[in-house]
Amino acid sequence: MLLPSLLLACVTVSVDPSAFGDLAAVDDTGDASAASPRPTRAEVLAACGLGPDDALITTWSWWDDYPTTSNPDDWAGEAVMDRPISEPCAESAGAALGMDWSTFGEHPAAFDTPTTVAQLVVAGILQLAAGDYGTVGELQASFTPTELLATDNAETLDPARPAAQFLFDYVQAHVDRVSWGPEGQSSCFFAYQDGDVHVCLDESAFTIAPWWNIGGFPPFMASALVHEAGHDDGPAHIDDGHFDPDCNGTFGAGARVLDAWLAASGPQARPLDIDTVEYGLSFTCDDIIEAGPGCPCN
Ligand SMILES: [Zn+2]
């Protein structure tokens, strides 16, 4: 299988801080989110003109015909959301997870389709906040027996609420900051370090089909954010960071998010988007050595 960027899709919790170079200084010079409360999911949705039960629909639009070859040049396309993203929406979504725009060389701006890495991250945060993953009760049942997504927030745990509430609150509780980098590190896709999700995607992420560079499709980005948040208190990977021994690690968490998306959003989704997410799920599952009962990788 010729998917080099996906093979490196994860992630390390043992990143050498010196590898981040100048980024280390950013931590000290001010993260505005640390000084003021970050927007809640409800506030993000309100800023984006969405109600608490509304789902943001994202599809993958091929620039050419549906790919029938393994040549990635045939796979170019773009993620398209079913509504334009306003500047206040982008700003609120970013602020919710401590988006450090300066490290991306960007600032909050309106967009229709993500065409920059920061916009892609925002689209992923919005897909986390407003994707359809079923209910909290359904999602929690699917996560048993893992304790990865444990939370004490009784409101979050209301089983009738959208699962997006649960996932968003979980990620927000474990992620202080989202930044770009480290620059020039080709082997990084996402990395988690001390509450900071480092996004190392390059521009190919939003022009190459998602199964070449998985971050390009916002439902994957949402699942990747859950995966990274899981590194706050979840188990580390084994075998040089490439695998989990079972489904109770962060690969399993990401797989369950994609599985929940397929279960809830699949009936309304287009076959191409289902194919795309199923591909990502199978690739995530390839990183789980012994899936075991209850794992969506079986
Ligand atoms: Zn990981």
Interval 198-220: pLDDT, tens: 998 776 666 655 555 556 788 88
Residue 50 pLDDT: 94
Q: Is the pLDDT of residue 13 over 50?
A: no
pLDDT bucket at 36, cuts 50 / 70 / 90: confident
Centre of ligand 1 to C-alpha 11, Å, is: 4
Residue 154 pLDDT: 64
pLDDT bucket at 2, cuts 50 / 70 / 90: very low
**pLDDT tens digit sequence for 74-88:** 556 677 888 899 999
**Residue with the larger pLDDT of the pair 212 and 172:** 172
Question: Rounded CA gap, 226 and 174, in Å?
Answer: 9
**Residues with Cβ within 5 Å of ion ligand 1?**
10-11, 250
Contacts of 224 (CB under 8 A, 6+ apart): 9, 124, 189, 190, 214, 215, 254
pLDDT bucket at 22, cuts 50 / 70 / 90: very low
Edge-to-edge strand ranges of the sheet holding 190-193 = 177-180, 196-199, 190-193
Centre of ligand 1 to C-alpha 95, Å, is: 23
Centre of ligand 1 to C-alpha 112, Å, is: 30
Share the mean pLDDT of the chain: 78
Lowest mean pLDDT among 133-142, 165-174, 182-191: 182-191
Region 285-293: mean pLDDT is 92
CB 32 within 8 A of CB 179: no
- Kindly report the pTM of this predicted structure: 0.83
Centre of ligand 1 to C-alpha 237, Å, is: 6
Name the nearest CA neighbour of 269 among 127, 162, 132. 132
DSSP-assigned beta bridge partners for residue 80 = 59
